[in-house]
Amino acid sequence: MIKKLDLISPNINWKSEEEASNRNWYLVISNHQSWTDIILLQSYLYGHLPPLKFFTKQQLIWVPGIGLAMYVLGFPYVKRVTKAQIRANPKLRNADRDNIKQACEGFKNHPTSILNFLEGTRRTPSKHNAQSSEFQHLLKPKIGGIEYVIKDMGDYLHKMIDVTIVYPDGTPSFWEFLTGQCKSVEFIVNHHDIPQGVLVDDDIERRSALASWIKGIWLSKDRLIDDLLKSP
């Protein structure tokens, strides 16, 4: 685990940092622009929250080094299935749901921080344009993954930790970051209580409350990013 980064001097703004604890369970969300995001999250949340775990695409298990490391660290894999695959084999419909449920059962054994990139992929200008997103700096949030986590872990989750990562000089590639070409990062952390409305048993009511809650957070995050990018 990376404890400290000497490559950059980030501006970390963590509201209620003193309330964070390694003894609680957390749901962590963040915007996503680069593989660098994962290094920053692991580095600057380390020691304040329990170790981060996140669901990774099954294809990554074949990536040399990365796949084995994620497996050893206990990162659960999910297998993305297409609509065509589901039509051919309806049993695949609940594959991701079952994998998440199984992983959450393991998370209950010890305090864990469950990371979810709500955009579902790294934001790029082309992806953003293709979505016609109402958000200026973000892709549309996908709530399916965290809905499953909240449904399975609701009684355990202490807070939701919302991280906003901004690269004022432009999003670096992984190589640019490692070679010291990323000179500045804004790293903002906010704590949110999980509303009772998203903890209810009724699926329709829970999804509606969750969608409304996340949209409000995403709108605020979008304005925050805009303000940070406009700052001198």
The domain locations on the chain are: 11-230
Q: Give the C-alpha separation, 179 to 196, whole Å.
A: 45
Q: How far is CA 5 from CA 177, 182, 211, in A?
A: 11, 12, 35
Of 30, 32, 44, 34, nearest to 2 by C-alpha is: 44
What class, spelled out in words, does domain 11-230 have in CATH?
alpha beta
pLDDT tens digits, 116-163: 999 988 999 999 999 988 999 999 999 988 998 999 998 899 999 999
Q: Give the C-alpha separation, 95 to 3, whole Å.
A: 35
**Is this model's pTM higher than 0.95 or not?**
no
- Angle 212-215-216 from CA coordinates, rounded to 5°: 90
pLDDT tens digits, 80-127: 666 777 777 777 677 777 778 888 888 899 999 999 999 988 999 999
Of 204, 93, 194, nearest to 153 by C-alpha is: 194
Q: What are phi and psi of 112, to 5 degrees?
A: -145, 150
